[in-house]
Amino acid sequence: MRIIVTGGAGFIGSHIADAYAEAGHDVTILDDLSSGKLENLPAGTRFERVDVRSEEAARVIKEVRPEVISHHAAQMNVRVSVDDPRLDADINVLGFLNVLEAAHAAGTKRVLFASSGGTVYGEPEQLPCPESYPTHPVCPYGVSKLAGEHYLYYYAAVRGMRYVALRYANVYGPRQDPHGEAGVIAIFAQRLLRDEPVTIFGDGKQTRDYVFVRDVVRANVACLDAEFTGGVNIGTGQETDVVELFERINALVGRSGAAQHAAARDGEVRRSALRVSLAESVLGWKPSVSLDDGLAATIDFFRSRS
């Protein structure tokens, strides 16, 4: 299959591109390298350094005529979206529309979209949260991801595209950026391996659903020939709080230090976990990597780089 992966030099996109290339697909990666890295690109793939908002990106899509577009390029930082909602919408909404219009012109029949189960439901009262729960995001990033899903619905209903909007929980694993504000596991792992202080914001009792990147890749592979069109949660259904995460990583790294606490950051949801039974019925997918195994693999990666 001819597949374009946008954001394929980034954390999740590069693992997906790896799997597609290994399975023998013809993979082209579009990425502006704003946070992605050349070293993440799998061998044997074509790479175009373009911004998804640009005419150049549209030109590449029309030239490649991919059967599938996996859209992972995004401004993915919630705090940036709060500080600069226009920038977030420019990349995540208008950039995606540019890709969708070019995909339609190129005859692309299937789009796989990295949505966000951690933000599109806002602050859900039902945990783990099912796809049927109302979507009322409380940050601009969640709004832009939900807008992407609405555009996909339109392209499916009116223009005959198929799509899967993969509503990821908190994805973690090798290659995640340990310098940003997202990716708490990468940040903790790298800092503890370097014996640097770790900061927990608030009381550390806020929970998230942490899903290992290898499981996320398996879901993206399953989507290539799924009949399903719509939004689907990709997570584990398990809640883990930050203090527990810190203690587990501490133990795996072999440290015994304490974390510093700092004031809670506003705008953060208190609890988050996704129900994943729909993914099992429509994609035949369920998570397979335990948190401890995923953490160990992530720590090994950061250890090998230090």
Q: How far is the CB of 258 from ligand NAD (least distance, A)?
A: 26
Rounded to 5°, angle at Cα 23 from 22 and 24: 90
Binding to ligand NAD by residue 32, rule CB under 6 A?
A: yes
Calpha distance 149→151 (Å, rounded):
5
Calpha distance 258→86 (Å, rounded):
39
Q: How far is the CB of 179 from ligand NAD (least distance, A)?
A: 11
Q: Which CB atom, from 48 or from 198, has the smaller least distance to ligand NAD?
A: 48
State the maximum Cα–Cα separation within the chain, in Å, rounded to a whole number.
57
Calpha distance 14→175 (Å, rounded):
9
Calpha distance 76→90 (Å, rounded):
12
Residue choice 18, 20, 35, 78 for contact with ligand NAD (CB under 6 A): 35
Q: How far is the CB of 33 from ligand NAD (least distance, A)?
A: 5
Calpha distance 123→135 (Å, rounded):
9
List binders of ligand NAD among 63-82 (CB under 6 A): 72-76
Calpha distance 19→5 (Å, rounded):
11
Binding to ligand NAD by residue 129, rule CB under 6 A?
A: no
Cβ 195 vs Cβ 255: under 8 Å: yes
Q: How far is the CB of 247 from ligand NAD (least distance, A)?
A: 21
- Three-state DSSP at 296 gives helix
Binding to ligand NAD by residue 245, rule CB under 6 A?
A: no
Give yes or no: 141 in active site. Answer: yes
Binding to ligand NAD by residue 190, rule CB under 6 A?
A: no
**From 29-37, 132-140, 157-165, 269-277, span contacting ligand NAD (CB under 6 A):** 29-37
Residue choice 16, 68, 78, 91 for contact with ligand NAD (CB under 6 A): 91
Q: Residue 78 belongs to what H/E stretch?
A: helix 78-83
Binding to ligand NAD by residue 174, rule CB under 6 A?
A: no
Active-site positions read 141
| Positions that interact with ligand NAD (CB under 6 A) | 7, 9-13, 31-36, 51-53, 72-76, 91, 95, 114, 116, 168, 170-171, 177
